[in-house]
């Protein structure tokens, strides 16, 4: 059983990454995609034309589909990302553009509705923020929609907020988030 860890953390000392590592600890089958190292290009018109031509032929051998195939094959998806600008860093959106492939992670029904093709049973979204984020976390809401479109039935959300607000007990906030991560791990059924 494979867990795909989509790491959108900018550096190794990231508080978000520390929560993700706690969630993934003990899991022997983690595949990690480090987005800030991967250097994915946003789609330009030439890339879109090439991709559409290959999709129309169902020619999945091109390397541009590798991320989509990896995503579709995973049993669990873990998204680790800081809370930036009401959602997440742009590298994560670029990644999702590379993953969202008709014929691999979803397809359209005869009625024109998207239907998921992903194997994953759940998506876990872990984030941290300097200020409050629960009032408007469009990143998690976006991934709830992505999970639905891709056929992933469960979504879970863990956040540590107010980490850069003067006067907050950062250690207590992180310890609370870490406890929620461990509780989630213990309550989720095995894949």
Q: The domain spanning residue 90 has which CATH number?
A: 3.40.50.360
Among the listed residues 124, 160, 159, the one whose alpha carbon sits nearest the alpha carbon of residue 143: 124
Domain count, the chain: 1
pLDDT band per the 50, 70, 90 thresholds, residue 34: very high
The residue segments making up the domain with residue 131 are: 3-187
pLDDT band per the 50, 70, 90 thresholds, residue 1: confident
| Cα end-to-end span (Å), the chain | 7
pLDDT in tens, 68-105: 999 999 999 999 999 998 899 999 999 999 999 999 99
Among the listed residues 43, 15, 7, the one whose alpha carbon sits nearest the alpha carbon of residue 125: 7
Burial of 118 by CB count in 10 Å (0-12 exposed, 13-18 middle, 19+ buried)? buried
189 or 107, which is more confident? 107
């Amino acid at each position: 059983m494979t867990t795909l860890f989509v790491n959108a953390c900018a550096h190794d000392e990231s508080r978000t990454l520390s929560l993700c590592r706690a969630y993934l600890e003990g899991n022997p089958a983690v595949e990690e995609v480090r987005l800030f190292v991967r250097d994915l290009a946003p789609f330009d018109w030439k890339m879109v034309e090439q991709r559409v031509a290959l999709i129309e032929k169902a020619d999945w051998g091109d390397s541009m589909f590798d991320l989509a195939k990896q995503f579709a094959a995973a049993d669990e998806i873990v998204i680790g990302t800081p809370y930036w600008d009401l959602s997440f860093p742009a590298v994560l959106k670029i990644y999702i553009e590379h993953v969202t492939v008709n014929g691999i992670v979803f397809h359209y029904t005869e009625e024109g509705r998207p239907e998921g093709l992903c194997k994953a049973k759940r998506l876990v979204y872990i984030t941290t923020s300097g200020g409050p984020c629960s009032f408007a976390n469009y990143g998690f809401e976006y991934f709830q929609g992505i999970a639905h479109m891709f056929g992933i039935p469960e979504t879970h959300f863990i956040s540590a907020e107010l980490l850069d607000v003067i006067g907050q007990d950062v250690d207590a906030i992180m310890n609370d988030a870490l406890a929620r991560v461990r509780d989630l791990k213990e309550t989720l059924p095995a894949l």
